[in-house]
Amino acid sequence: MTSRATEELLLKRCLTVAQTGSDALSPDEANLFRLVAQLVRTNYPAESAVLEQSHARYFSGHPEVAGLSFLTMLDTGLVTDLPRLRSMLEHQLANASAAEDVAFDEQRSDP
């Protein structure tokens, strides 16, 4: 799998968890969710909180696993480009929010 394909899968997973509140499936996911929660907190505080909660649930259920520092995540290659990650995730969150607004408006206008 290419790095772009991996990146796309991670972004989709972050978006899904931010919208549904589902649990992290691995330590890498949990660490990633904490990182992206910090990256999007200003513009998407609700989604950030959901990602933080997923991170916390994972590590409270797996006390034998230690979380990674953000620097370690960069050093190990789990994340390679923070500005790109933030930009792409915020773009997807904005698109998801716009789609929800359209669906809500359509629902209100149906007699």
Domain extent listing, the chain: 3-109
Per-position DSSP letters for the chain, written without gaps between them:
--HHHHHHHHHHHHHHHHHH-PPPSSHHHHHHHHHHHHHHTTT-HHHHHHHHHHHHHHHHH-TTSPPPPHHHHHHHTS-S-HHHHHHHHHHHHHHHHHHHHHHHHHHHH--
pLDDT number for residue 18: 95
pLDDT, greater one: 40 or 1: 40
Is the pTM higher than 0.75? The answer reads: yes
Query: Residues 33-86: pLDDT tens digits?
Result: 999 999 999 999 999 999 999 999 999 999 999 999 999 988 988 888 889 999
